[in-house]
Structure 1
Amino acid sequence: MNEPTGQSSPGSARILVVDDDALVAMSMVSLLEDLGHSVVEATSGAQALAIIQGDAAIDLVITDQSMPGMSGTELARAVFLLRPSLPVMLATGYREVPEGSELRLPQLMKPYDDEAVGKAVTQVLSRTEPR
């Protein structure tokens, strides 16, 4: 894991990856680090919220939708209460996300490839106001 950079440019962001599946998380972390990002991992929504409360340098949250205890959309709602300007991207294999659809979260459709992740992250970060 890389040290925090505090930078929020699309080429070098600090990204929190939230997924309860260790293999999926490891793959995403590796991919994001290869793209030049600094990555923090969480295996649950509760762990992610604790990280967000203690790490002001997070630029983007990428979360799985289907997790035990707290879904990705439930996590997004909680994130927006803590940090309204922090973008959240939902990684999902479902075309439609019934709960939380009013949030209009950017979605990364599974299965995804390196190019799709890079493009999605760049698009989300380019829409974010610098902090």
Structure 2
Amino acid sequence: MPLRVLLAEDEALVAMALADWLEAEGHLIVLAADGMEALSAFREDDNFDVLVTDLRMPRLGGEALIRALWAERPWLPVLVVTGSAPPGGAKALRHEIGRGGSLALLHKPIDFSALADALRCLTTSAPV
């Protein structure tokens, strides 16, 4: 089933690779170059099935973006794809950000098979 994906990634090549792959899988993508653009896109139209975001971005990082989106829509699933994961991984990130929807963390470089599995798990399960 196609997903409506909000993709927040500041590295142009990574953003293009993720967007191309997601579109090839049949998903609809709204691409934002940083957290501020993603937050604006969400506030214009919050009809997203999942957020895919980096952590380290200019103007508004991934953690702050997730907090802001979960304040408005706490059940939104989030997939973090980052080259700078916090020590302790997803569990530590979840503790830092607080309550909200399902959250998964993948490391760069991107493993598209793991990305497909994570999206499937995030969008077919209840929030944790």
TM-score of the two chains, using structure 1 as the length reference: 0.81
Aligned equivalents of 1:56, 1:70: Cα separation in 2: 18
Q: Any idea what the Cα deviations from partners look like across 1:50-103, whole Å, max 9, x if unmatched?
A: 111111321101001111222211110011112111112111123425884414
Q: Give the whole-Å Cα distance in 2 for the aligned partners of 1:62 and 1:97.
A: 20
1:43 matched residue in structure 2: 33
Higher helix share goes to which structure?
A: 2
| Count of paired positions | 119
CA distance in 2, matches of 1:25, 1:111: 12
Partner SS, residue 51 of structure 2: strand
Structure 1 segment 1-131 matched on structure 2, within 5 A: 11-96=1-86, 100-102=93-95, 103=97, 105-128=103-126
The gaps in structure 1 that reach 5 residues or longer are 1-10
What is the alpha-carbon root mean square deviation over aligned residues? 2.0
Give 2:15's aligned amino acid. A
Q: Percent identity?
A: 34
- Name the amino acid aligned to 1:14: R
Q: Which amino acid aligns with 1:127?
A: S
Greater RCO structure (CA 8 Å; 6+ sep): 1
Structure 2 residue runs without a partner (length 5+): none
CA contact (8 A) 1:87 1:128 kept: no
